[in-house]
Amino acid sequence: MLNNLIFLYLISFLITSSFLTIKIEKLKNEIEQSFRNLSDSIYRYQINTINSKVIYGTKEIEKILYLTKVKNDETVKDISENFYNFILDSRRNEIVSGNIWTVANIYPKYMFVEPYRKAYERIHEHTDTDNERSYFDYLVGLENIEVNLEKSNLSIYETMKVYGPYTESDTNEELITIYYPLYVNRKIQSILLLDIKYGFFDEFIINFNKRNFSVIKKEDDINISQMIFDIIAKNNYNDKIHIPVEIEKKYFLVYSIFVFLFFCGWYYLITFLFKFVTESKKDKLTGLYRKDYLNEKNLINCIIVIDIDFFKKVNDTYGHQVGDLVIAEVSNRIRNTIRKTDVGVRWGGEEFVILLDGVINISDLNVKLEKLLKIISDKKIEDINVTISIGAFLSSNSIMLSEAFKYADDALYQSKMAGRNQYTIFTDEKLK
């Protein structure tokens, strides 16, 4: 039993390890795919905004923030529809979804922003109206953003910048900001800005664990900004990207114990059911299988038939109660002699049948039968000298049980005629 439990725990440990390894790879793939989807959304947004209509000298566009003084002939790209479609698309993204704090598209003289917060009007602090340097120029300088890619080997994905985590002063919200320059003919046109709540990564992992019954956490020494940049900038799926997640070690043991208990439950249930079904097929007095357990058409190679000698005399002299004790003890000694893979059957009354498992040779059969005779006769049962007679049949080819039993029963009859307490073996060679 102990060996079985140790084996079950080892299996549980391996299954837990394999299961969580598969889940951690699944989580990494989902994280990577979500950010690639975000990058694809940005690319589609950029394409859609290139041909946006131009409006002259107006403040009628909703949620637009001007970064310089507006002149009557000022041109503004009306990207409103594409802008809000991009926001909706971003909010459907699995990894950032409800954690998008701010989306802004910043042009040199104005910006679209959602949601519009009063504090954003202080952006003018970074605007030099005399020299016509706006917040756009401030970001280009601060983040060292490339404005012209004509002589650069950078891909548009590698021009993005990721900053944070940092705490926004007005709201005390911890954020990560993605600056994604948008180019037309490899010259910068605007900067798309996404503020994402820093807790998005923890939230995504927690939700993943709930869906997948896993115990995964982010690494302790994590650089989420670098991870975001690596996933989006290295847009080739063949690039190996480090996703900073790992198995929660302190819960691994608990998880494996849970799996172990699960398997133990099934193990004991199956063992109980197997024992219940098996015991229902056994004779209560002897613990051997009942005759109806066997199918007479089963193919076998060797069968042994045993009969307790002069058993009627035991019943007549000592009574049926003692007779039952004799039958029970003979059965017990037979069970202790045969292998677990052999099948012992109470054929009826004081007669027993043994079906030997597998092919056996004549020498081994002789040893087995000698042992059966000795184990019964050497020690008295209920202070009575008890012996048995045995008939056996051995065939080189498998034959039906009903036919084999007939030959073994004939051999038993010969043992009785020869004086009992002995065995006789018939083989298919002798029958030819």
User: Virtual CA dihedral for 243, 244, 248, 252, nearest 10 degrees?
Assistant: 40
Residue showing tokens 């004939």: 410
* 155: helix, strand or coil: coil
Measured N-to-C along each axis, helices 362-377 and 320-337 cross at an angle, to the nearest 10 degrees, of 140
How do 64-66 and 110-114 pair as beta strands?
Answer: antiparallel
- In tens, the pLDDT along 234-290 reads 765 556 788 899 988 877 777 788 777 887 777 777 777 777 666 667 888 898 988
Give the three-state DSSP class for 399. strand
- In single-letter form, the type of residue at position 213 comes to F
- 206/109: higher pLDDT: 206
Amino acid sitting at position 288: L
- Laid out side by side, the sheet with 161-167 consists of 64-66, 110-114, 100-106, 187-197, 174-184, 161-167
pLDDT reported for residue 124? 62
pLDDT(307) > 90: yes
Question: Could you report the per-residue pLDDT of 380-426, keeping only the tens digit for each?
Answer: 999 999 999 999 999 988 888 989 999 999 999 999 999 999 999 99
Q: In whole angstroms, what is the distance from residue 121 CA to residue 111 CA?
A: 11
3-class DSSP state for residue 307? strand
Domains of the chain and any CATH numbers: 2-254 (no CATH), 289-431 (3.30.70.270)
- Claim: this prediction has a pTM higher than 0.85: no
Stronger pLDDT, 121 or 309, i.e. the higher one: 309
> What is the average pLDDT across 85-111?
90
pLDDT value, residue 128: 57
* Beta bridge pairs of residue 394: 302, 427
Instruction: Give residue 97's Cα distance to chain centre.
Output: 27
User: From CA 92, how far away is CA 390, in angstroms rounded?
Assistant: 81
Q: Give percent of the chain with pLDDT exceeding 90.
A: 43
pLDDT tens-digit series, residues 186-237: 899 999 999 999 999 999 999 999 999 888 999 988 899 999 998 888 765 5
Helix 2-50 and helix 249-280, axial crossing angle in degrees, nearest 10: 130
